[in-house]
């Protein structure tokens, strides 16, 4: 099996934000066992910023908030993070790791997308465990993801993985916050992610990480549309990766892939490209998009929000206020607002449009 394993900051650091070598060794040991069993594994690892804080005399409770300082801390911490992974894998004696730093443009620009896929494929062919992180040190704050859960889901699609494992400090998604409600129970199987589940997921649960259960549910939704099964599980659970592959009962929260799988380009439009604006449409246009798989024409537009340009992504909103689709526009916002007779009728071609609830 080809799988992507993502480990969060809180799962491999202590309460003071320092890398916990024993936790790293636990994850690496399980990956080594999978590799010995013939599986191909890509590891998406957070904790570069957390690893850099102690080196600069800071703790997780003193985590900076300005982007420039966080980028500097990440540059310091990424080297230390990889050093620990290399040392631990060397101690295991059978695994070579390789660093891969990705940015949103690696998923948004097709040539970079193909190059990233080729690099990861070759690393896996060579028996290497690629260790992926977002390139925080040089990322433009306006063009970045900010959480590795979504990157892990996009990497799973990128390499045609069968399984995405999101390791965290919780046993999975619960019906309520188990730290607050004693009767909260683990949700072991999810067949469809809806608004109720997203509400249950809530926000970040740790001062050491940038994500939380909400980002994991969002990542699982992406993976589901890519035809990839997701397991959200506790990093400290014994044999968690083997159990995730087997789909063992109680391993965590298992999110089933959808039977309808989006093509790679549709995944890119829906989840990898940021939205630059909104286009509101009337009921007739909404029916045409959803029921007849039609393109979006200028005649159905009732309102334009944002300052988008040609080929930018926009969200398409029906009269009730619900976003029903996302697509790449062929007409800029200023021209649509002008609404002159010279405005092209075709605003979003159906090949550039994806309807994802």
Q: Where are the domains of the chain?
A: 2-262, 274-354
Return the exposure string of 133-159: e unless at least 16 CB atoms fall within 10 Å of the residue's CB, then b: bbbbbebeeeebbebbbbbbbbbbbbb
321 membership: H or E segment, kind and range: none
Indicate the SS3 state at residue 313.
Answer: strand
* Calpha distance 290→356 (Å, rounded): 10
338 membership: H or E segment, kind and range: helix 333-338
Judge residue 299's burial from the number of C-beta atoms within 10 Å of its C-beta, 0-12 exposed, 13-18 middle, 19 or more buried: exposed
* Calpha distance 50→47 (Å, rounded): 5
CATH number of 2-262: 3.40.1160.10
User: Assign residue 227 a region: left if phi > 0, alpha if psi is -120 to 50, beta otherwise?
Assistant: left
Sheet hosting strand 128-134, strand order edge to edge: 96-102, 128-134, 40-45, 2-7, 163-168, 229-234, 253-255, 189-190
Indicate the SS3 state at residue 181.
Answer: coil
Answer whether 154's CB lies under 8 Å from 222's CB.
Answer: yes
CATH number of 274-354: 2.30.130.10
Answer whether 352's CB lies under 8 Å from 265's CB.
Answer: no
Q: What are phi and psi of 194, to 5 degrees?
A: -120, 180
Q: pLDDT in tens for each of the 357 residues of the chain?
A: 999 999 988 899 887 778 899 999 999 999 999 999 999 999 999 888 888 888 888 877 777 788 888 888 889 999 999 999 999 999 998 799 999 998 777 777 778 888 999 999 999 999 999 999 887 656 554 434 557 898 999 999 999 999 999 999 888 888 877 777 878 888 899 988 777 777 777 754 444 444 478 889 989 999 999 999 999 999 999 999 999 999 998 999 999 998 888 887 888 888 878 889 999 999 999 999 999 989 999 989 999 999 999 999 999 999 999 899 999 999 999 989 887 556 678 999 999 999 876
Those residues whose C-beta lies under 8 Å from the C-beta of residue 194, and which sit 6 or more positions away, are: none
* Calpha distance 141→68 (Å, rounded): 9
């Amino acid at each position: 099996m080809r799988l992507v394993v993502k480990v969060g900051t809180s799962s491999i650091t202590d309460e003071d934000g320092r890398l916990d070598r024993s936790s790293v060794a636990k994850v690496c040991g399980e990956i080594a066992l999978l590799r010995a069993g013939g599986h191909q594994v890509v590891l998406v690892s957070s904790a570069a910023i957390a690893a850099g804080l102690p080196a600069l005399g800071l703790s997780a409770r003193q985590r900076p908030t300005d982007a420039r300082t966080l980028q500097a801390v990440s540059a310091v911490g990424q080297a230390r993070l990889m050093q620990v992974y290399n040392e631990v894998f060397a101690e295991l004696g059978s695994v070579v790791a390789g660093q891969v730093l990705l940015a949103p443009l690696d998923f948004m620009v097709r040539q970079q997308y193909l190059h990233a896929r080729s690099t990861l494929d070759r690393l896996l062919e060579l028996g290497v465990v690629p260790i992926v992180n977002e390139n925080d040190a040089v990322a433009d704050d306006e063009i970045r993801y900010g959480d590795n859960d979504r990157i892990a889901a996009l990497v799973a699609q990128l390499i045609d993985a069968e399984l995405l494992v999101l390791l965290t400090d919780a046993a999975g998604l619960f019906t309520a916050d188990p730290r607050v409600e004693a009767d909260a129970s683990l949700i072991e199987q999810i067949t469809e992610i809806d608004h109720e589940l997203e509400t249950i997921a809530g926000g970040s649960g740790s001062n050491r990480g940038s994500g939380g259960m909400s980002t994991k549910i969002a990542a699982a939704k992406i993976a589901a549309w890519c035809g990839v099964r997701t397991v959200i599980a506790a990093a400290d659970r014994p044999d968690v990766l083997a159990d995730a592959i087997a789909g063992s009962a109680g391993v965590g929260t298992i999110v089933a892939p959808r039977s309808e799988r989006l093509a790679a380009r549709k995944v890119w439009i829906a989840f990898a490209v940021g939205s630059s604006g909104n286009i509101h449409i009337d009921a007739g246009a909404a029916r045409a998009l959803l029921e007849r798989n039609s393109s979006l024409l200028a005649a159905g537009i009732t309102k334009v929000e944002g300052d988008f340009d040609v080929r930018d992504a926009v969200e398409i909103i029906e009269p009730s206020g619900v976003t029903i689709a996302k697509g790449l526009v062929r007409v800029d916002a200023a021209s649509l607002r002008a609404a002159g007779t010279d405005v092209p009728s075709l605003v979003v071609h159906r090949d550039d449009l994806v309807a994802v609830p």
